[in-house]
Chain A
Amino acid sequence: MKNRRIDDVLKSYRGYLDEAVHDSVVRSRKKDFLAAHFRPEPFWGFQPVFLLPAIMLAAIFFLFQSLVPPRLAYIYPQPLKNVIASETQSTKEHGGFVRRFSGGQSQSGIASVAEPLRNDEFNQGLPIRVERINSQVGPTMVFQTNRDNIPVTIVWVFVGG
């Protein structure tokens, strides 16, 4: 009987400490402590030793790109902008294709425009007259629309142009 009561006392003592240990404040302080001092190391690619140089390189690249002189602009890949060649700028003497500089050369670099051979005699007999040549996707594709917005489109595709 006596031993049982003493066992109860010691059991209560253990319960007393168990309550203290499983307190929510203790759990949260443990979590904070682990996060502050012993958090798992991040994936190697995200560690500062790799991440910071990568960010710096990217920053230098974009800075250099914005400050580079226009005459060196050709070193960057740039999508070709719409190049509109007026009728008066065509040069028949070159035959099939003409290499032409766009009006905004100083900003956008060099654009190559394919232009078909213009044959005025042939055009005179047709209801549709070629007025403009647009290049939207690069030097390999040229399409032509008629002046009166008639839904007729002629497309030439020049492979490797």
Chain B
Amino acid sequence: MDMKRESCIFNLDMQFKVVLMGFAVLFSLSAIAQNPVRVGVYGGINLTNVLSTESHSVLEPTPVGPDREGKEYIEWFNSEQMGFQAGLMGLIPITDQISVVPMLLYMQHHFRYDVSQRFTDTLNPDPLVYDQRFRHQLRYLQIPVMLRWDIAPNRFSPFVQAGAYAGFLIDGQKSLDERLLPESQLPQDNNEGFVRAQSGPGDDALQSFDAGMLGGLGVRWRGNILEVGLMVNLRWELTAPVLDSRRYANAEGWATSAMDVYDEFSMQHLEAGVYLLLTPGAGQSSGNWANCSFGSNKKRRRRN
């Protein structure tokens, strides 16, 4: 099994080199661009939605099996689905209004699903309810590249953007909270009564590589040196995160300890963030940063 992992790492290494080469080509071409390249930082939060396409489970109900509906995924707008992202961002202008936006991001995605089972007690009319609550935290290093169109070539402009991303899984953590109570004793608040049963690495059955599409809109304010902006993007993962060959094979992991395996699923993320970009070298010709005025590129060209 380890050998399989090693061969995967080799492939990822090659993929990573290809991506880096692409960036190198882009940046070298941008050197001849009329508008300056801007670099800076980006950070924000994201909400994850999990779309299960094929259900998988260790527990198989027999015809007299407990009432069990499979995993119930928590949807977008829940604090448990919220992670954050931060990293570096670049803006490589192609024309006055069209730019390439490469990023290098640390992404943290959270999601949760619940599993509930009901057991009839023949000696006691009060059935037993067994609830499991699985929380996942996946951390990726992702490289999105988007094509951005600034709607107006002004200091203040809204923009739309779309592109693709590739990511590398850093690690995944998983935890299980559970409760086993007679139905009559279930608390009114569905979040009460759980105790932490287990936590630990949960990435053994996950692909190391992921990729997808992303796109969104935002607004920006641009000066000669500084550009700040706010954007909202939707990410749509296109690769399957789970390795079929390891879904059940990780026998020392969650499959046997908590009788839980991943469904076949894809993730979508709604992210919002702010960025701050600077123009490297801007103002150096004047020799004095204080003399740099915030203005449009058009004005700066006129002064020159």
**B is a partner of A:** no
